[in-house]
Structure 1
Amino acid sequence: MELTSIDLFSGAGGLSLGLERAGFRPVLGLDLNRDACATYRRNFPGVEVLEQSVTEVDFRQWRGVDLIAGGPPCQPFSNGGKRLAADDVRDMLPEFVRAVNEAMPRAFLMENVAGLLAPRNREYFDSVLATIDERYTVLPPRIVNAADYGVPQKRLRVMVIGFLKGAVDFPAPTHRPGRYATAGSVIRRGEVRGTPNPSKVVYAKKPDLRPSPYAGQLFNGGGRAINLDQPAPTILASAGGNKTHFIDELDAVPPYHKHLWDGGRPRQGTLEGGRRLTVLESALLQSFPAEMVFEGSRSSQYSQIGNAVPPRLAEVVGASVARALH
């Protein structure tokens, strides 16, 4: 039996790609971003794409679809933003619920940042979930780490699954610490995959020192050195410049960290051998396939990748949903 899916706030299509691998045929992608829609069209030929706000769409025309999935904009709840929640005009949680209530899919899947379950947001989030049609069985929201499901990146996200009939246990992790897919499984020193990023890695005047040389901020911006023996840190939607993580080609970061830890003075200038991730390398760390093509400017491509649901995570969760629907 063929299963169909709708991807709201679809972006570049990471969620759709994973769900497609899990057995869902995407019938609609919807996003307000022009470049993201162009990327979606290119990689999902034949699928209807609506380049408009979800607020403008009546979803009753898609009654009978098997799954509605999507990650409403995370900025209202992200630790990196102003955290205005319901007072942020970008809050689209109620619109996701409206889409579900109008289309009445057999199941739904919502993804968002872990901050959605923070005490300051939890009461509001629960109040929104309470407006879902009472015929749905909604699993308790779950914080997942994408690394636990085979993504070579540490990425905490909230997932909520609901079923019109029946339910399913949330899929168990496929990977554990010590057996994670590592950043080095898709990127490596001495090999630039994709078009090089010219952004330099500059020493911070006032380093934020942590026990690990791969934590804190030893360099300007939000970009960090990647430990190739571990999953990469979360790929940011604001990457492209100095918020892009980097490969330490000369393995110079650990000794510099020790220098600072022992009381040494911060250095100045650029880190020799510090190479920012390319668009392709960022996509690979998100578990996109190498042949995936992203449209728009370079900064737009980084943003699309950072905003995406890792396809591998979507595939594992989607497969669990698909089994329950068959």
Structure 2
Amino acid sequence: MPKHTVQQSQLFGEALEDKRGADPVVPSRIPSTSPFHQPRALTESERERYRKMSQESRRARESALSGNGPAPIHEINIPRLDPLKLMPQVRRNGLRTLSLFSGGGGLDLGFDRAGFEHVASYEIMNDATATISAARPEWKVFGGEGGDVRNVDFRQWKGEVDIIHGGPPCQPFSNAGRQKGHLDERDMWPKFVEAVQAIKPIAFIGENVPALASAKFSNYVNTSIIEPLSKNYHITPVILEASDFGVPQVRRRVFFVGFRTKKAAARWSPPTPTHFWGERQLDSGTERCMGLREALGLADIGVDDLSPTIRSALTGPRHTTSILNSVAAQRRFEAMEIWPNGVAATREQARAFVAKNGHFRLSVPDVALIQGFPEDWPFQGATYMALGQIGNAVPPPLAYAVASSVSAAVAK
């Protein structure tokens, strides 16, 4: 086990031993190779309880999938939401895009539906590049070592690209990632800036978690993004809410939108909401955003709400198939009678694997829908990897809205 893990656990133990008496905090048996993982401070009895829960869940899943579990209590759901209707395909606008940190293709899909021509995608995770390639076999996609932006000379794309878009890893700025900013080796904003400077596109769109726009990182944003790019670009940051564009989830993202000419920057306006939730209707031109149960096609139980922000299953030292990110989120899912842990690969498997409390178990296609991906977007890899791609993605309808606003400002 890494030295830092033992030391941190010992420190937590010293702080909590008085409260827990003879049952001190002990380190986890699960090795973590990530220097960014902060182990939970748990006693041996608490760890044993979690082990038993995990073992029971695994046995229950195996039993259910072999046909020996409890009888299913939910029908296979037929979603009411069609994300493609939130982003109708428009004619090509003559603008060519280069995608960086492409992940499972949220930005790529949104820009494609908004009429942009895809030039290439760069993504380091092989399963994510396989997803984009399966969805769009005709696209040029660089993956693995070839998709690592640290290995790319972006001058090769100068004159071939009009728009650069991408979402550098958000972990350096998110609560789950411990917010180490530039001290986190996953900080790839300098590479995004380097690509823009090398290619000199007419516009760029960089996105991240809204925490990047907070006071905590204001100095970082100014010195690492705004100052190096403002010599040639007029840059505007904007925070957008996914439900304002029909995505049935509480999810906010910050976008840095830059234009090379003052004229294009003056023409650009942040996308106007097309949907509303609850009492937030802005005008008669907006539509009501579906709640989670309605979007999934579940029965009306008198309670519905937007989904809590789904987390990436790639967070933490080990694989997980949970999309739960907080106690508050757990309460919201419980109120809607939806089980967010142990997400199944398919709807058939989700139906067979009955949750202890009888709530509706989510499947990968359901979680993809919550994020605004169409039913046929072919996420590749194991369940945890598919959920990781979904949880890390920009909701495509939100990407579509930003892409459309940029197109209106710079379209040829």
TM-score by length of 2: 0.63
> Residue in 1 aligned with 2:189?
93
Cα distance change on mapping 1:94 and 1:21 into 2, 3 Å: same
Aligned with 1:46 (options 132, 138, 143): 138
What RMSD over aligned residues (CA atoms) do the two structures have, in Å? 2.4
Q: 1:237 & 1:181 partners in 2: Cα distance?
A: 22
Amino acid at match of 2:258: G
> Residue in 2 aligned with 1:18?
110
Unaligned runs of 5+ in 1: 192-225, 254-269
Cα distance change on mapping 1:228 and 1:107 into 2, 3 Å: farther
Kindly indicate whether residue 146 of structure 2 is the aligned counterpart of residue 55 of structure 1.
no
Amino acid at match of 1:308: A
CA contact (8 A) 2:239 2:253 kept: yes
Aligned with 1:181 (options 290, 293, 296): 290
Per-residue CA distance 1:12-61 (angstroms, 9 max, x = gap): 11110000111111111111101001101111212111112111111111
Cα distance change on mapping 1:163 and 1:49 into 2, 3 Å: same
For 1:78-227, list aligned pairs within 5 A: 78-129=174-225, 130-132=227-229, 134-139=231-236, 141-165=237-261, 166-167=264-265, 168-178=268-278, 179-189=288-298
Cα distance change on mapping 1:310 and 1:251 into 2, 3 Å: closer
Kindly indicate whether residue 125 of structure 2 is the aligned counterpart of residue 28 of structure 1.
no
> Residue in 2 aligned with 1:260?
none
Q: 2:335 & 2:256 partners in 1: Cα distance?
A: 42
Q: Aligned-pair distance for 1:230?
A: 2.4
Kindly indicate whether residue 403 of structure 2 is the aligned counterpart of residue 318 of structure 1.
yes
Q: 1:277 & 1:69 partners in 2: Cα distance?
A: 31
Cα distance change on mapping 1:55 and 1:133 into 2, 3 Å: farther
Cα distance change on mapping 1:313 and 1:248 into 2, 3 Å: closer
- How many residue pairs end up in the alignment? 275
Cα distance change on mapping 1:242 and 1:304 into 2, 3 Å: closer
Aligned with 1:241 (options 295, 318, 321): 321
Kindly indicate whether residue 379 of structure 2 is the aligned counterpart of residue 294 of structure 1.
yes
Kindly indicate whether residue 347 of structure 2 is the aligned counterpart of residue 272 of structure 1.
no
Q: 2:201 & 2:137 partners in 1: Cα distance?
A: 23
Cα distance change on mapping 1:230 and 1:250 into 2, 3 Å: closer
Q: 2:376 & 2:399 partners in 1: Cα distance?
A: 18
Q: In structure 2, the residue corresponding to 1:316 is in which secondary structure?
A: helix
> Residue in 2 aligned with 1:257?
none
Per-residue CA distance 1:121-148 (angstroms, 9 max, x = gap): 1211121121115121111x11211111
**More deviation, 52-61/66-75:** 52-61
Q: 2:179 & 2:135 partners in 1: Cα distance?
A: 33
Cα distance change on mapping 1:111 and 1:227 into 2, 3 Å: farther
CA contact (8 A) 1:189 1:249 kept: no
Q: Aligned-pair distance for 1:190?
A: 6.3
Larger radius of gyration: 2
Q: Aligned-pair distance for 1:237?
A: 0.5
Unaligned runs of 5+ in 2: 1-92, 279-287, 315-319, 339-354
**More deviation, 25-34/239-248:** 239-248
- Identity of paired residues, percent? 41
Q: 1:227 & 1:36 partners in 2: Cα distance?
A: 38
Q: Aligned-pair distance for 1:107?
A: 0.6
Cα distance change on mapping 1:251 and 1:84 into 2, 3 Å: closer
Cα distance change on mapping 1:18 and 1:251 into 2, 3 Å: closer
